[in-house]
């Protein structure tokens, strides 16, 4: 069942088109940087972007920081929002359920396929960025932490892997919102846009001083904290809070999705 869902996801042209688009923006940025040699001043622009002109191997982190605020959440919301509602809209949901596939199993398989998509997308973006960065951008091994000290290549590799894990978990929060909405509506568009509306509201409230009391609980609050993994020593506080917060969102929303989907009349 899970294998079939993964196969379905991997055989869909849309999956690859999305991943291609996710790679397009960082690659364009890399080309522009290489051609103009105009990096943002340190401390401005997306994280790590000022460093990549000298050390291209840091570009995977810059690429992730570029797609994290908007591109990646959109892709995840679209894929996760489509997972149940898309089957409902195309009418295949009823045939899956009378096949029979248990509703809980179906939901779990969909969730795993969404997680697989997020991991696949993040890893492909990181690898592409590494290749692009090595080819186009600077080759002086800088390996500088955000704090100014030097990291060994091993340290950079470990921390990059941790960053990928952290970003995946953050995106899982988005996926949980979209998946929950996907079990409520039969329209994949509504589910994806609903999840995005939630994220946009969250980002907006983060800029508002009056919403300070709410801010620690907003899903996007700690997304960019993965940068803290590259401080020396690692600044864990926000990362751990981010992990905890996403875990709560994921558990609560997936629970709600399960409760709703297993007791719902499938009339699509």
Partner 1 sequence: MIRTAALTKRFGSILAVDGVSLDVRAGDIYGFLGANGSGKTTTVRMILGLVLATSGKIQLLGQPMPGAGRAALTEVGALVEGPAAYGHLSGRANLGLLDAMGKGGVRRTRARRIDEVLEQVGLAAVGRRPVKAYSLGMRQRLGLAAALLRQPRLLVLDEPTNGLDPQGIREIRELLLQLHASGTTVFLSSHLLAEVEQLCTRVGVLDRGRLVLQDDLAKLQAPTGRTVVHTPDQDRARVLLDGRIEHRDRDRLVVRGADAAELNAMLVSGGVRVTELGPERRSLEQVVLAATDTSSHQVGVTR
Short-list 121, 119, 123, CA closest to 168: 119
By CB under 8 A, residue 97 contacts partner 1:
yes
By CB under 8 A, residue 1 contacts partner 1:
yes
Distance CA 183, CA 160 (A): 34
Smallest separation (angstroms) from partner 1 to the CB of 21: 18
Smallest separation (angstroms) from partner 1 to the CB of 90: 6
Region binding partner 1 by CB under 8 A among candidate stretches 60-68, 77-85, 98-106, 161-169: 98-106
The binder of partner 1 chosen from 65, 96, 178, 245 (CB under 8 A): 96
Q: How far is CA 174 from CA 19, 65, 198, 236, in A?
A: 17, 17, 9, 22
CB 227 within 8 A of CB 146: yes
E strand intervals along 13-129: none
Segment 19 to 58, residues that bind partner 1, using CB under 8 A: none
Region binding partner 1 by CB under 8 A among candidate stretches 48-56, 86-94, 196-204, 230-238: 86-94
Short-list 37, 251, 52, CA closest to 156: 52
Region binding partner 1 by CB under 8 A among candidate stretches 28-36, 63-71, 99-107, 220-228: 99-107
CB 61 within 8 A of CB 230: yes
The binder of partner 1 chosen from 36, 207, 209, 265 (CB under 8 A): 265
3-class DSSP state of 51? coil
**Which neighbouring-strand residues pair with 139?**
55
The residue count for the chain: 268
By CB under 8 A, residue 7 contacts partner 1:
yes
The binder of partner 1 chosen from 16, 31, 99, 135 (CB under 8 A): 99
Which is nearer to partner 1, 27 or 83 (by Cβ)?
83
**Residue 193: count of CB within 10 angstroms of its CB:** 17
The binder of partner 1 chosen from 100, 154, 210, 233 (CB under 8 A): 100
By CB under 8 A, residue 101 contacts partner 1:
yes
Smallest separation (angstroms) from partner 1 to the CB of 264: 8
The binder of partner 1 chosen from 8, 39, 70, 189 (CB under 8 A): 8
E strand intervals along 16-120: none
Short-list 73, 64, 70, 52, CA closest to 23: 64
What radius of gyration do the chain's Cα atoms show?
20
Backbone torsions φ then ψ of 106, nearest 5 degrees: -60, -45
By CB under 8 A, residue 94 contacts partner 1:
yes
Number of residues that bind partner 1 (CB under 8 A): 24
Smallest separation (angstroms) from partner 1 to the CB of 261: 12
The binder of partner 1 chosen from 21, 40, 90, 135 (CB under 8 A): 90
By CB under 8 A, residue 102 contacts partner 1:
yes
CB 76 within 8 A of CB 171: yes
Q: Which residues bind partner 1 (CB under 8 A)?
A: 1, 3-4, 7-8, 11-13, 90-92, 94-102, 263, 265-267
């Amino acid at each position: 069942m899970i294998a079939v869902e993964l196969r379905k996801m991997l055989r869909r042209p849309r999956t690859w088109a999305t991943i291609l688009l996710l790679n397009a923006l960082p690659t364009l940025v890399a080309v522009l940087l290489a051609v103009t040699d105009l990096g943002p001043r340190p401390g401005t622009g997306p994280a790590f972007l000022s460093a990549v002109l000298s050390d291209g191997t840091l570009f995977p982190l810059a690429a992730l920081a570029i797609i994290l605020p908007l591109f990646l959440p959109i892709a995840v919301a679209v894929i996760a929002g489509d997972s149940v509602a898309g089957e409902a809209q195309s009418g295949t949901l009823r045939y899956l359920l009378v096949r029979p596939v248990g509703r809980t199993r179906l939901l779990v398989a969909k969730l795993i396929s969404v997680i697989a998509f997020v991991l696949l997308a993040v890893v492909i973006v990181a690898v592409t960025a590494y290749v692009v960065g090595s080819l186009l951008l600077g080759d002086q091994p800088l390996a500088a932490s955000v704090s100014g000290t030097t990291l060994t290549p091993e340290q950079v590799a470990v921390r990059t892997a941790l960053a990928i894990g952290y970003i995946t978990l953050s995106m899982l929060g988005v996926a949980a919102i979209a998946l929950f909405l996907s079990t409520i509506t039969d329209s994949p568009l509504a589910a994806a846009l609903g999840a995005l509306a939630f994220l946009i509201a969250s980002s907006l409230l983060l800029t508002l001083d009056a919403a300070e009391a709410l801010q620690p609980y907003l899903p996007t609050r700690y997304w960019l904290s993965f940068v803290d993994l590259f401080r020396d020593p690692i600044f864990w506080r926000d990362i751990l809070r981010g992990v905890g917060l996403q875990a709560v969102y994921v558990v609560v929303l997936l629970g709600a999705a399960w409760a709703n989907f297993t007791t719902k009349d499938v009339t699509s």
